[in-house]
């Protein structure tokens, strides 16, 4: 009988032998096995892809472009962007969407520079800051005045709007601002006023359609559908960590305006909020007067407005974005709109896209700058089209007589008014062109710009002052000289018909006085 037969006859001896074997294994071997198992779990939990990159020779992944087959924006602009037709390789030691996103926020290595701050006073009494970085600030070109922005600066302008709980000092914003300014643009960051809520970039473009005073735009890591995003961010443990981090950021913004939120919202609920949805329940819905949180999410999502975007728009999203899920990307809507090109990559995280061995650059910054540069030199920049409202009194619904000049009685003066504006009056289109800063166009920037309300008040006061005395007569004559012959005859006809009863009474009165004076004894009463 050998040793094997003895072990089979006595199971207790077998267990005893196994225990001795286990004890005989060094403790360091167990630690190594435990560390390996932990690494495997962590590798999958944090969605690392280092091994995949290694097996592919660190060639990176392709950029997938979604666009309409007849899109002029793609064929005329995006097709010339080498960055969007290349490959994106993640920084090897940041080969995880969570590592990229976290590294961007805590160790983003943003460039060092100083903004020029301009305070803007809105019509409703609110105040928000515009932070400028000019091309001359980063190119080494000396400027005459360091405090004001030159009126004769013809450098094109780019407006940047930070995301949720972000401002001009966020690392990813400073990367984009500095890179764009280096490429020949004047950059202005519009900081959220108090608590900004959700980024308005894409939804704003769809709301106003052709009326948007913007020549081109880019949206990076957009949430697209807030309802889907809300459910995604509360699904897994790792997403719940992001949810909690965003909630803390929102609570920090709310604390800056505690007095107002105490009056308008449920402050106790805001303080106790553990998720973004809780915060929206106690703050956003009450301030915005939404029935439910889902109602707010549905109405404020940008997906429903994608079809109305008339501006050349580049959208960039990462399929492994841990905050804005790929499930919300409107693939079909983007493909149906000829003005939109959607660029997606396998990796990149949320607003990260680190590249290079040192991780000092962001791929999407390079892609956006190239897109804007090609767009600026192309004939496909959007031009604002002032759409007229279609109503019972709108010019589009009126006849030629209705659109002609009409009689306006004011302060005892009868003035001829028409559809055109006089030289002394400022048209709404001209006012928008001088008071608004339009991205990707040759607009001029200057310091101390007045607000829209202040400009309107000043214009009103000038009109009121000029309406007394001979000024209004000159305007009437000037207006008449600009009308067509048909309009002048129409005005004469209306004036004669409307004044004939008065003329008849006056002539009858003068005739009676003359007749009475000619009668004998008419002077005796």
Percent of the chain with pLDDT over 70: 67
Tell me which residue of 228, 107, 128 sits closest to 175, measured CA to CA.
Answer: 107
Report the DSSP beta bridge partners of residue 218. Answer: 314
pLDDT at 343: 98
Q: What is the mean pLDDT of residues 176-181?
A: 92
pLDDT at 521: 47
- Which of 71-75, 133-137, 280-284, 489-493 bottoms out in mean pLDDT, i.e. has the lowest? 489-493
- Which of 126-135, 188-197, 387-396, 442-451 bottoms out in mean pLDDT, i.e. has the lowest? 442-451
Q: Which two tokens stand for residue 294?
A: 């889902």
pLDDT 10s digits, 334-371:
999 999 999 999 999 999 999 999 998 999 999 999 99
pLDDT 10s digits, 290-315:
999 999 999 999 998 999 999 999 99
Composition of the chain by helix, strand, coil, percent to 5:
50, 10, 40
Q: Which 3 state secondary structure label does DSSP give 366?
A: helix
Rounded Cα gap, residues 256 and 252, in angstroms: 7
Q: What is the mean pLDDT of residues 269-292?
A: 95
Q: How far is CA 106 from CA 18, 318, 466, in A?
A: 50, 20, 59
Mean of all residue pLDDT scores within the chain:
75
Q: Is the pLDDT of residue 232 over 50?
A: yes
pLDDT 10s digits, 387-441:
544 333 344 333 333 333 323 233 332 323 333 333 443 333 334 333 333 333 3
pLDDT at 198: 34
pLDDT at 142: 56
Q: Is the pLDDT of residue 223 over 80?
A: yes
């Amino acid at each position: 009988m050998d040793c094997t037969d003895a072990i089979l006859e006595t199971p207790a001896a077998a267990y005893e032998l196994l225990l001795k074997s286990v004890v005989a294994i060094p403790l360091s071997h167990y630690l190594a096995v435990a560390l390996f198992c932990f690494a495997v779990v962590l590798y999958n939990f944090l969605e690392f892809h280092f091994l995949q990159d290694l097996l592919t020779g660190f060639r990176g992944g392709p950029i997938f472009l979604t666009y309409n087959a007849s899109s002029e924006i793609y064929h005329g602009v995006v097709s010339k962007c080498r960055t969007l037709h290349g490959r994106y390789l993640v920084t090897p030691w940041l080969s995880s969407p969570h590592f990229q996103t976290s590294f961007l926020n805590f160790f983003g290595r943003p460039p060092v520079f100083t903004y020029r701050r301009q305070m803007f006073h809105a019509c409703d009494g609110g105040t928000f800051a515009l932070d400028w970085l000019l091309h001359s600030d980063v190119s080494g070109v000396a400027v005459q005045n360091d405090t004001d922005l030159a009126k004769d600066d013809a450098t094109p302008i780019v407006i940047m709007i930070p995301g949720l709980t972000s401002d001009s000092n966020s690392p990813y914003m400073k990367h984009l601002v500095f890179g764009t300014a280096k490429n020949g643009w004047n950059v202005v960051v519009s900081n959220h006023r108090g608590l900004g809520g959700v980024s308005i970039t894409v939804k704003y473009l769809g709301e106003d359609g052709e009326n948007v005073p913007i020549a081109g735009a880019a949206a990076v890591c957009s949430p697209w559908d807030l309802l889907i995003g809300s459910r995604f961010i509360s699904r897994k443990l790792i997403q719940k960590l992001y949810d909690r981090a965003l909630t803390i950021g929102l609570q920090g913004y709310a604390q800056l305006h505690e007095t107002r939120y105490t009056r308008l919202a449920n402050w106790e609920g805001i303080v106790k909020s553990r998720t973004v949805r809780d915060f929206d329940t106690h703050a956003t819905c009450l301030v915005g007067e939404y029935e439910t949180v889902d109602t707010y999410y549905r109405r404020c999502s940008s997906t429903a407005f994608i079809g109305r975007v008339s501006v050349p728009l580049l959208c960039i999203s990462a399929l492994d974005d841990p905050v804005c899920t790929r499930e919300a990307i409107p693939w079909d809507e983007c493909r149906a709109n000829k003005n939109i090109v959607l660029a997606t990559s396998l990796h990149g995280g949320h607003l990260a896209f680190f590249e290079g061995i040192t991780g000092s650059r962001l791929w999407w910054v390079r892609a956006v700058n190239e897109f804007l540069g090609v767009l600026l030199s192309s004939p496909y920049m959007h031009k604002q089209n002032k759409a007229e409202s279609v109503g019972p009194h709108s010019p589009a619904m009126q006849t030629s007589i209705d659109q002609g000049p009409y009689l306006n009685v004011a302060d005892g003066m009868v003035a001829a008014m028409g559809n055109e504006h006089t030289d002394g009056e400022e048209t709404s289109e001209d006012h928008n062109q001088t008071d608004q800063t339009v991205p990707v166009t040759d607009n001029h920037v200057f310091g101390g710009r007045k607000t829209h309300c202040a400009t309107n008040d000043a214009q009103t006061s000038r009109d009121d002052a000029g309406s007394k005395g001979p000024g209004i007569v000159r305007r009437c004559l000037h207006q008449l000289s600009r009308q067509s012959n048909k309009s002048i005859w129409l005005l004469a006809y209306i004036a004669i018909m409307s004044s004939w009863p008065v003329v008849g009474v006056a002539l009858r009165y003068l005739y009676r006085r003359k007749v009475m004076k000619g009668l004998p004894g008419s002077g005796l009463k």
